[in-house]
Amino acid sequence: MGQLRTALEKILPPERLCEREPMRQHTTFRTGGEASYFLRINTREELSAVINILQETGVPWIVLGRGSNVLVSDLGYDGAILQLTGEFDEIRQTAAQELTVGAGAALGQVALSAQKLGLTGLEFASGIPGSIGGALIMNAGAFGGEMAQICTGASVLDEEDRLLTLDRDAMAFGYRTSSVKGTHRIILSATLQLQQSSPEEIAARMEELKNRRLEKQPLEYSSAGSTFKRPAIEGYYAGKLIEEAGLRGFAIGDAQVSEKHCGFIINRGAATSAEVYQLICEVQRRVEASSGIRLEPEVLTLGVF
């Protein structure tokens, strides 16, 4: 590992090269052990150089957005976590109704920038605490909107360090998935096609959705949002199935099925990743026993469980 750090120091300054980084500081569950390396990458050149070193040394790596859909093991991650910052945070208006946005930009900030420009279509994302890159990979959505509706293309770095431009069809968006999910391709930026509206009307819609979230979702607790995907069977919803299984408020340690919204598993303050994971598994088991439906987690796991 000493040789690895020496090689990385030739690319990244010390403040962007962290060892034994507690991942609870970088996930919305506020759980997780230490990552061997946590690297903040500011440019595509840095990204390519860092990945080349990691591959040469055989060190596992993953790109992490804002940790809003990830459960990191209490044992941590024996590898390098890459976070895209710097030029990847940029938000640019590239046409009258078009934004080009870096993969590291926060969804909420992008939605706010669009609102100030009088561009509508991103209001649904204003309360989702993720990054653009993560949102595209998972085709994030809420309140009837999703990234597939507004993303016309993405700039992607493939496994051979080639820069690709994927249009909407090539992104193959589906329910909480895309063609990039499960690969080592890295989204660098996205092009978003929006519509003209008044900033005041957009702000009013964002405020309406914010109030609906506050009313129905346990935002006062750490969580990863909706824990389970909507079942493929028409008319069935994860939260309702969990409630019908008698699991409202059910807890393992400080991990709990939210009493406010059964589709959320929350950290009441001192939960471990193991407790969250055990609760996910127990919810799956009991819901399947009561309904015959196996819920699929929306949350991704990282490390050993």
Asked if residue 195 and residue 129 are part of one domain, the reply reads: yes
Query: What SS3 state is found at 86?
Result: helix
Q: Are 67 and 96 in contact (CB under 8 A)?
A: no
pLDDT at 262 over 90: yes
In a domain, 210, yes or no: no
Residues 299, 69 contacting (CB under 8 angstroms): yes
Assess whether pLDDT exceeds 70 at residue 1: no
Please check whether residues 113 and 187 belong to one and the same domain. yes
Report, as an integer, the average pLDDT of 64-83: 97
For residue 26, tell me if it sits in a domain: yes
Do 176 and 243 fall into the same domain? no
Identify residue 73 by its one-letter amino acid code.
S
Residues 109 and 189 in one domain: yes
- 30: phi then psi, degrees, rounded to nearest 5: 60, 40
Within-domain flag for 305: no
pLDDT exceeds cutoff 80 at 276: yes
Same domain membership, residue 222 and residue 189: no
Over the chain, what is the mean pLDDT? 97
Q: 95 with 80, same domain?
A: no
* Same structural domain, 13 and 116: no
Query: Dihedral through CA 55, CA 185, CA 63, CA 133, nearest 10?
Result: 160
Burial degree of 154 (CB within 10 A; 0-12, 13-18, 19+): buried
Q: Which residues of 60-89 are buried (b: 16+ CB within 10 A; e: fewer)?
A: ebebbbbbbbbbbbbebbebbbbbbbebbb
Residue 303 lies in a domain: no
- Summarised one tens digit per residue, pLDDT across range 93-131 is 999 999 999 999 999 999 999 999 999 999 999 999 999
With respect to residue 33, please indicate whether it lies within any of the assigned structural domains: yes
pLDDT band at 199 (very low <50, low <70, confident <90, very high): very high
% of residues, the chain, pLDDT over 70: 100
Closest CA to 266 of 253, 278, 257, 279: 257
Residues 121 and 147: their CA atoms lie apart, in Å, by: 10
175 with 106, same domain: the answer is: yes
When divided into structural domains, the chain yields a total of 3
Give the three-state DSSP class for 3.
helix
* Whether residues 117 and 160 fall in one domain: yes
152: domain CATH number is 3.30.465.10
Q: What angle, 0 to 180 degrees and rounded to 10, lies between the N-to-C axes of helices 44-57 and 2-9?
A: 160
| Alpha-carbon span 115 to 197, nearest angstrom | 9
CATH of the domain at 33: 3.30.43.10
Residue 190, phi then psi, degrees to nearest 5: -135, 150
Examine the fold and report which residue of 84, 116, 149 is the final residue of a domain before the chain moves on.
84
Residue 238 near residue 293 (C-beta atoms within 8 A)? no
- 99 is a domain residue: yes
Q: Record the tokens describing residue 207, joined without a space.
A: 């405020």
Task: Assess whether pLDDT exceeds 70 at residue 198.
Answer: yes
* Same domain, residue pair 93 and 196: yes
CB 300 within 8 A of CB 71: yes
- pTM confidence score: 0.94
Helical packing angle, 107-116 and 199-216, nearest 10°? 150
Domain identity same for 187 and 97: yes
Contact between residue 16 and residue 36 where contact means Cβ atoms under 8 Å apart: no
Is 186 found in the same domain as 116?
Answer: yes
Pairing of strands 34-41, 145-146: unpaired
Q: Percentage of the chain with pLDDT > 90?
A: 98
Domain limit, last residue, from 200, 229, 263? 200
- β-pair partners for 193: 98
Enclosing domain of residue 41: 2-84
Collect all residues with Cβ–Cβ distance below 8 Å to 13 and sequence separation of at least 6. none
| Amino acid occupying residue 110 | V
Q: Annotated catalytic sites, by residue? A: 176, 226, 298
200, 229, 260: which is the final residue of a domain? 200
pLDDT tens sequence across 26-71 = 999 999 999 999 999 999 999 999 999 999 999 999 999 999 999 9
Instruction: State the DSSP H helix or E strand holding residue 211, giving kind and residue range, or none if neither.
Output: helix 199-216
Q: What is the pLDDT of residue 136?
A: 97
- Whether residue 62 contacts residue 81, with contact meaning beta carbons closer than 8 Å, is answered with yes
The CATH number covering residue 273 comes to: 3.90.78.10
301 in a structural domain:
no
Report yes or no on 300 lying in a domain: no
